[in-house]
């Protein structure tokens, strides 16, 4: 029988029910007549096992578990349904069959079959979520769009609902009950000592370096072995063996780069989740790292049923109830924590908060936000009395004053200095390497003979790269600027000789069965074809360099281009990558040799933290046996600076919580109810800041730091921030006096702090207070006269105040003069003038107007404000073009902006639009909120409304979405149901007029890329649709449980007075 077409909501067919009955009763499959088959099913023995405790308590659940086919009545064969109703083939009543009373319990007849099934599912879902663990329980998942119940065994294996699964569930629950662990309520349902339980004790090794020693399920151990992790390093075992760490004690640990820091946090997350049911929040600095980590964790943890969800710019930002681990950026983590604090029941489920790259605390622009996340988490758990439930894990390779951080968090501290893969540091000048490493470095880099100095390569970069790639190893080159990256890649592609191994690959020996040489060149040609079919056109530099195994990587490339290049580099298709310093803290790209061309990052000098991040890319664990970092020097002075940097000490991490950042922190803790009085703000909140701990450390005051007084400077800054918030009407102080100026030196502790509706809106929009006030002013002005005959005005309001596109003022002036009258009206309404553009195009840098000076305003500040407004309008014009489905390469050419900068602007504008929408919702401006809600996906994907559903599918950019729409594939479900061949036809039709193929080989690669793209699109549509349905199921279950809890609380409140009256 042909397989039914894929459907996200397809019910179970009658054929599947018959097959299930045949599996349970083999006599049915071999019967020749229908009557014999019915008799065989009736006479088949019942399941000889004890029902699970959470099912046996309910008659309907027992009946569902005892029947051979655990489906609803509509899914059973027709003759079996008649037999159950007591109807024979001739229409007469069937003879009553004596059956045990315990197995024939029925619900009242007023309930139909579907209602019985729904009631059973509700009880099962309540039982699933009742225990504090993720093993030895039933869970639900979607397979091909169909909901499926699975059992997670005590050993961590996933079993599909079947008779065997019920028998194992019964045995697991009996065993847990014998050990005093319950399976039907939260109390005493967690597993505190998994090493004492039989599934883990039997297979547990005595060696702490083995994965089995830490009670990881066999499926998880197999997943780690697949990615090359077979044993722990000694420092990892020592860190995990720290006192009370596996029981929930917070931990801060430092280890060198490429030492396997992430594995320690992953083991802690798994143990807390599987054995205690505590979900985990993993905070990472960049979106690229989030995407990479989500894919990695899903691959490794798939065998034990753990669901990992990514929350970053491309997601909806919701932590769905069914997701066990959330991976998010710093900004998303702060906003997510604000949402969770509104519902304390959700916050109580979080057991682990992991902060990767914790040294970001010392950064000026993002460090305060990471500090605020930790402050909010600690204050909320202290208020709820859950301090023992929240485990904070911080890790980094570059944290100097780590003891201060561990004391601040009340965490155990572990510092490791062993690097599993030795790293050597050296200085090179004109192609000659001079070893000069640290004391613990391996100085095994052999000196090279002086390279041939060529005009295009005065630094001698080519011989250093050639020595490494000729041996089959990869090279990473860090350049100071993007322009340097492109020039270095082009130079290396011209100067590097043809590698002998590459020559063998191009002309393989006929007896070679592997064909390794030919495959690498084929992959490079295929990579070029993938880049040609990407949303932006293929860069001419990459078209030349990729064939030689060299490429550049920086922010001006699109996300799709960077992803393709990173994947090719990991697979060995590319041997050398020229990148900017942002790659050092980004995705994990292994290399044998790292070459740093300059001691500067942009125009700034390189610091020790950035240098160690770059050098740490060399010699990754499990991929190489050693690493080499070479710094190029133009002369003796540069060489001495490089050697000084090798031994440079890291600057202590200092808090950046001051000014507007401190005002935002004060507003958030007041709005979220974490601080309610002035006394709490000046004591409990002040002492929870990292700044308090750092200033006390620098003051060298004796005694327990929690009992020390708050420094005067910090106290004055907090009072100044509170005064600013009160003046801006974001916070209200309820006391006998109205202003802080009238307060005594120590404000009374009974003064209550409340956030105004505007203050609540600012907090939940995740905007900075000063930025939110500017948005609020713009929205108030726009409410008086919003231009709706064009979408330019609304797009301008959704454009970030600071954008990365620097306008060409002469081009800007010409673009402005060609605007339509309605667009010109929008420009006038927002303050864009022809006079200012004219002066800018002529290079005028003086005052913008005489009125600004006469009003006593500094003309420089006035000019900066007006210039920023005009830059914002220029970005809004570019966003309007992208939202109108104008190709990105044409927009990049029209606005003289890099492709990557435009894509970054789109992502930033989508995030900013969501913030403005949230502010409007909190202010009850529902009309504005609806407008921004409809605009957000258009900005994010750059398409018209009819293509929005298609653009959510991975691999479908605007041009492809439009082609799919014209081909009749109008939504995600239609693409998920489509065959791969149908999608291939659409892709070929899209590129038939852009074909560049001139020979059979190029045509073959084009067909291969089209086929792979079609498979990716269909698979992505199915996975995306299944994920959306799974999220809806999870939200429905969570809402159902919430209603049940509310009903129980209401019934308890009603019953209480009745008992008193009685």
Higher pLDDT, 752 or 89: 752
Higher pLDDT, 851 or 69: 851
Q: Are 326 and 311 in contact (CB under 8 A)?
A: yes
Q: Is the pLDDT reported for residue 133 higher than 60?
A: yes
Q: Please, which residues have CB within 8 angstroms of residue 664's CB and are 6 or more apart in sequence?
A: 368, 372, 768, 769
Question: Which is nearest to 673 in space by CA: 343, 391, 352?
Answer: 343
Question: Which is nearest to 390 in space by CA: 440, 433, 341, 453?
Answer: 341
Query: What pLDDT, on the 0 to 100 scale, is given for residue 121?
Result: 58
Q: How far apart are CA 437 and CA 443, in angstroms?
A: 6
Q: How confident is the model at residue 586 (pLDDT cuts 50, 70, 90)?
A: low
What is the residue-wise DSSP string for 288-307?
HHHHHHHHHHHHHHGGGT--
Q: How far apart are CA 1062 and CA 1060, in angstroms?
A: 5
Q: Which residue's structure tokens are 């802080």?
A: 740
Q: Are 686 and 392 in contact (CB under 8 A)?
A: no
Q: How far apart are CA 190 and CA 278, in angstroms?
A: 10
Beta partners for 279? 350
Q: Are 631 and 456 in contact (CB under 8 A)?
A: no
Query: What pLDDT, on the 0 to 100 scale, is given for residue 1050?
Result: 72
Q: Please, which residues have CB within 8 angstroms of residue 889's CB and are 6 or more apart in sequence?
A: 536, 537, 899
Share of the chain above pLDDT 90, in %: 38
Q: Is the pLDDT reported for residue 434 higher than 90?
A: no
Looking at residues 417-430, what average pLDDT do you find?
86
Query: pLDDT tens across 773-789, in order?
Result: 999 999 998 888 888 88
Query: What pLDDT, on the 0 to 100 scale, is given for residue 666?
Result: 95
Q: How far apart are CA 760 and CA 670, in angstroms?
A: 9
Q: Are 795 and 887 in contact (CB under 8 A)?
A: no
Query: What pLDDT, on the 0 to 100 scale, is given for residue 318?
Result: 77
Q: Which residue's structure tokens are 């322009």?
A: 483
Q: How confident is the model at residue 747 (pLDDT cuts 50, 70, 90)?
A: low
Q: Please, which residues have CB within 8 angstroms of residue 805's CB and are 6 or more apart in sequence?
A: 871, 874, 875, 878, 895, 897, 901, 902, 905
Q: How far apart are CA 63 and CA 51, in angstroms?
A: 10
Which span out of 14-23, 53-62, 247-256, 440-449 was modeled with the highest average pLDDT?
A: 247-256
Query: What pLDDT, on the 0 to 100 scale, is given for residue 737?
Result: 52
**Hey, is 265 helix, strand or coil?**
helix
Query: pLDDT tens across 659-694, in order?
Result: 999 999 999 999 998 999 999 999 999 999 998 888
Q: How far apart are CA 945 and CA 956, in angstroms?
A: 15
Q: How confident is the model at residue 990 (pLDDT cuts 50, 70, 90)?
A: confident
Higher pLDDT, 104 or 210: 210
* Burial class, 7, CB count within 10 angstroms (exposed 0-12 / middle 13-18 / buried 19+): middle
Q: Are 1033 and 322 in contact (CB under 8 A)?
A: yes
Higher pLDDT, 188 or 930: 930
Handedness of CA 458, 462, 468, 474 (dihedral sign): positive
Q: How far apart are CA 377 and CA 281, in angstroms?
A: 11
Higher pLDDT, 119 or 834: 834
Looking at residues 590-614, what average pLDDT do you find?
87
DSSP code of 344?
Answer: H
Q: How far apart are CA 820 and CA 829, in angstroms?
A: 14
Q: Please, which residues have CB within 8 angstroms of residue 979's CB and are 6 or more apart in sequence?
A: 1018
Query: pLDDT tens across 55-97, in order?
Result: 333 333 333 333 333 334 444 444 444 444 444 444 443 333 3
CA distances from 25 to 39, 69, 163, 175 (A): 11, 11, 12, 29
Query: pLDDT tens across 616-666, in order?
Result: 888 877 777 889 999 998 888 888 888 888 888 888 888 889 999 999 999
Q: Are 891 and 882 in contact (CB under 8 A)?
A: yes
Query: pLDDT tens across 361-378, in order?
Result: 988 888 999 999 999 998
Query: What pLDDT, on the 0 to 100 scale, is given for residue 724?
Result: 93
Token representation of residue 815:
């673009």
Q: How confident is the model at residue 233 (pLDDT cuts 50, 70, 90)?
A: very high
Q: How confident is the model at residue 1052 (pLDDT cuts 50, 70, 90)?
A: low
Q: How far apart are CA 449 and CA 434, in angstroms?
A: 11
Q: Are 612 and 589 in contact (CB under 8 A)?
A: no
Q: How far apart are CA 354 and CA 326, in angstroms?
A: 10
Higher pLDDT, 231 or 588: 231
**Hey, is 424 helix, strand or coil?**
strand
Looking at residues 194-207, what average pLDDT do you find?
90
339: left (phi over 0), alpha (psi -120 to 50) or beta: alpha
Strand-pair category, 604-605 with 412-415? unpaired
Inter-axis angle of helices 859-883 and 926-941, nearest 10: 70
Region of poorest pLDDT, from 289-303, 574-588, 741-755, 995-1009: 741-755
Q: Calculate the average pLDDT of the chain.
A: 79
Dihedral (Cα; 570, 571, 577, 579), 10-degree rounding:
-30
Region of poorest pLDDT, from 44-58, 133-147, 1005-1019: 44-58
H helices within 277-430, ranges in order? 287-301, 330-342, 344-347, 367-384, 402-409
Residues 704-710: contacts with CB under 8 Å, at least 24 apart: 705/407, 710/682, 710/683, 710/686
Maximal C-alpha separation, the chain: 105
Looking at residues 894-900, what average pLDDT do you find?
90
Tell me the HSE value of 974 on the side-chain side, using a 13 A CA sphere. 14
Q: How confident is the model at residue 10 (pLDDT cuts 50, 70, 90)?
A: very low
Query: pLDDT tens across 518-534, in order?
Result: 578 888 888 999 998 88
Query: pLDDT tens across 405-414, in order?
Result: 998 998 999 9
Q: How far apart are CA 357 and CA 346, in angstroms?
A: 26
Q: How far apart are CA 140 and CA 138, in angstroms?
A: 7
Question: Phi then psi for 426, rounded to 5 degrees?
Answer: -150, 165
Q: Are 460 and 491 in contact (CB under 8 A)?
A: no
Q: Please, which residues have CB within 8 angstroms of residue 913's CB and are 6 or more apart in sequence?
A: 798, 932, 935, 936, 939
Q: Please, which residues have CB within 8 angstroms of residue 1057's CB and are 6 or more apart in sequence?
A: none
Q: Please, which residues have CB within 8 angstroms of residue 267's CB and are 6 or more apart in sequence?
A: 214, 216, 240
Q: Is the pLDDT reported for residue 245 higher than 60?
A: yes
Q: How confident is the model at residue 448 (pLDDT cuts 50, 70, 90)?
A: very low
Q: How far apart are CA 198 and CA 725, in angstroms?
A: 58
Query: What pLDDT, on the 0 to 100 scale, is given for residue 784?
Result: 84
Question: Which is nearest to 595 in space by CA: 609, 607, 584?
Answer: 584
């Amino acid at each position: 029988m042909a397989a039914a077409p894929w459907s996200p909501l397809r019910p179970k067919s009658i054929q599947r029910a018959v097959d299930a009955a045949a599996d349970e009763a083999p006599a049915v499959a071999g019967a020749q007549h229908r009557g014999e088959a019915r008799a065989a099913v009736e006479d088949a023995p019942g399941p000889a096992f004890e029902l699970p405790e959470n099912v046996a308590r309910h008659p309907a659940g027992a009946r569902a578990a005892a029947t051979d086919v655990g489906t609803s009545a509509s899914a059973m064969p027709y003759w079996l349904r008649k037999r159950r109703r007591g109807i024979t083939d001739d229409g007469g009543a069937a003879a009553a069959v004596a059956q045990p009373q315990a197995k024939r319990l029925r619900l009242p007849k007023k309930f139909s079959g579907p209602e019985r099934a729904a009631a059973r599912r509700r009880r099962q879902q309540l039982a699933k979520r009742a225990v504090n663990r993720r093993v030895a329980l039933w869970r639900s998942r979607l397979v091909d769009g169909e909901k499926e119940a699975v059992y997670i065994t005590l050993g961590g294996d996933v079993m599909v609902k079947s008779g065997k699964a019920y028998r194992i569930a019964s045995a697991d629950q009996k065993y847990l009950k014998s050990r005093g662990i319950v399976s039907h309520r939260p109390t005493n349902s967690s597993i505190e000592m998994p090493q004492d339980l039989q599934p883990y004790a039997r297979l547990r090794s005595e060696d702490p370096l083995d994965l089995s020693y830490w009670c990881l399920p066999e499926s998880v151990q197999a997943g780690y072995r697949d990615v090359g992790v077979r044993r722990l390093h000694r420092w990892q075992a020592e860190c995990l063996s720290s006192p009370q760490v596996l029981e929930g004690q917070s931990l801060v640990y430092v280890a060198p780069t490429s030492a396997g820091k992430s594995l320690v946090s992953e083991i802690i997350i798994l143990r807390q989740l599987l054995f205690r049911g505590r979900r985990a929040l993993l905070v990472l600095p960049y979106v690229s790292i989030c995407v990479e980590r989500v894919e990695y964790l899903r691959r490794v943890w798939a065998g034990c049923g753990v669901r990992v969800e990514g929350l970053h710019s491309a997601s909806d930002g919701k932590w769905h109830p069914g997701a066990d681990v959330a991976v998010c950026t710093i900004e998303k983590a702060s906003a997510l924590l604000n949402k969770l604090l509104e519902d304390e029941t959700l916050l109580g489920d979080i057991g682990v908060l992991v902060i990767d790259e914790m040294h970001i605390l010392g950064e000026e622009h993002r460090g305060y936000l990471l500090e605020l996340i930790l402050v909010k988490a600690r204050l909320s758990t202290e208020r709820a009395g859950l301090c023992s439930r929240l485990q904070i894990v911080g890790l980094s390779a570059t944290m100097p004053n780590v003891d201060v951080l561990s004391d601040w968090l009340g965490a155990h501290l572990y510092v490791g200095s062993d690097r599993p893969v030795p790293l050597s540091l050296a200085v090179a000048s004109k192609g000659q390497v001079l070893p000069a490493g640290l004391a613990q470095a391996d100085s095994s880099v052999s000196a090279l003979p002086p390279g041939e100095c060529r005009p295009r390569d005065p630094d001698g970069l080519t011989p250093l790269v050639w020595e490494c790639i000729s041996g089959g190893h990869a090279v990473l080159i860090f350049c100071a600027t993007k322009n340097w990256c492109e020039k270095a890649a082009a130079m290396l592609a011209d100067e590097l000789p043809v590698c002998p191994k590459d020559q063998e690959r191009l002309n393989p020996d006929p007896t070679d069965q592997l064909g390794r040489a030919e495959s690498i060149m084929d992959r490079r040609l295929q990579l070029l074809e993938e880049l040609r079919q990407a949303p932006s056109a293929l860069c001419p530099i990459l078209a030349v360099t990729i064939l030689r195994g060299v490429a550049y990587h920086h922010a001006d490339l699109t996300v799709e281009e960077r992803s393709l290049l990173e994947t090719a580099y990991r697979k060995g298709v590319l041997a050398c990558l020229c990148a900017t310093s942002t790659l050092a803290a980004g995705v994990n790209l292994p290399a044998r040799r790292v070459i740093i061309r300059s001691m500067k990052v942009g125009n700034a000098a390189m610091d020790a933290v950035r240098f160690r991040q770059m050098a740490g890319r060399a010699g990754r664990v499990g991929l190489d046996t050693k690493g080499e970092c070479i710094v190029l020097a133009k002369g003796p002075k540069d060489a001495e600076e490089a050697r000084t940097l090798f031994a440079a000490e890291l600057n202590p991490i200092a808090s950046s919580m001051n000014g507007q950042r401190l005002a935002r922190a004060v507003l958030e803790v007041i709005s979220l109810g974490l601080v309610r009085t002035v006394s709490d703000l000046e004591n409990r909140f002040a002492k929870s800041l990292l700044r308090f701990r750092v200033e006390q450390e620098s003051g060298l005051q004796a005694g327990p730091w929690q009992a020390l007084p708050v420094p005067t400077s910090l106290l004055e800054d907090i009072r100044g921030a509170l005064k600013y918030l009160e003046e801006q009407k974001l916070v209200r102080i309820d006391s006998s006096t109205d202003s802080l100026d009238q307060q005594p030196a120590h404000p009374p502790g009974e003064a209550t702090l409340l956030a105004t509706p505007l203050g609540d809106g600012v907090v939940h929009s995740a905007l900075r207070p000063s930025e939110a006030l500017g948005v609020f002013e713009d929205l108030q002005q726009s409410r008086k006269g919003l231009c709706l005959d064009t979408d330019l005005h609304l797009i301008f309001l959704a454009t970030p105040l600071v954008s990365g596109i620097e306008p060409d003022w002469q081009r800007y002036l010409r673009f402005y003069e060609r605007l339509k009258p309605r667009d010109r009206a929008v420009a006038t309404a927002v303050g864009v003038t022809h006079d200012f553009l004219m002066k800018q195009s002529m290079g005028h840098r003086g005052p913008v107007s005489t009125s600004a000076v006469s009003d006593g305003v500094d003309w420089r500040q006035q000019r900066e404000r007006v210039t920023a407004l005009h830059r914002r309008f220029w970005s809004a014009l570019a966003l309007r073009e992208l939202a109108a489905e104008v190709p990105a390469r044409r927009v990049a050419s029209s606005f003289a902006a890099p492709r990557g900068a435009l894509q970054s602007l789109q992502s930033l504008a989508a995030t900013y639009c969501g913030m403005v929408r949230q502010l409007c919702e909190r202010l009850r401006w529902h009309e504005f909120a609806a407008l921004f809600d409809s605009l957000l996906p258009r900005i994010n994907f750059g398409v018209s409304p009819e293509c929005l559903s298609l653009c959510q599918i991975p691999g479908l950019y605007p041009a492809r979405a439009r082609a799919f729409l014209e081909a009749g594939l109008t939504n995600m479900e239609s693409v998920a149901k489509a065959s791969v061949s149908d999608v291939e036809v659409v892709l070929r039709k899209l590129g038939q007029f852009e074909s560049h193929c001139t020979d059979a080989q190029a045509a073959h690669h084009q067909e291969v890329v089209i086929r792979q793209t079609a498979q990716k699109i269909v698979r992505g549509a199915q996975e995306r649709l299944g994920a959306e349905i799974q999220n809806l199921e999870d939200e429905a279950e969570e809402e159902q449980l919430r209603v049940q809890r509310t009903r129980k609380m209401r019934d308890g409140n009603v019953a209480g007075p009745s008992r008193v009256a009685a």
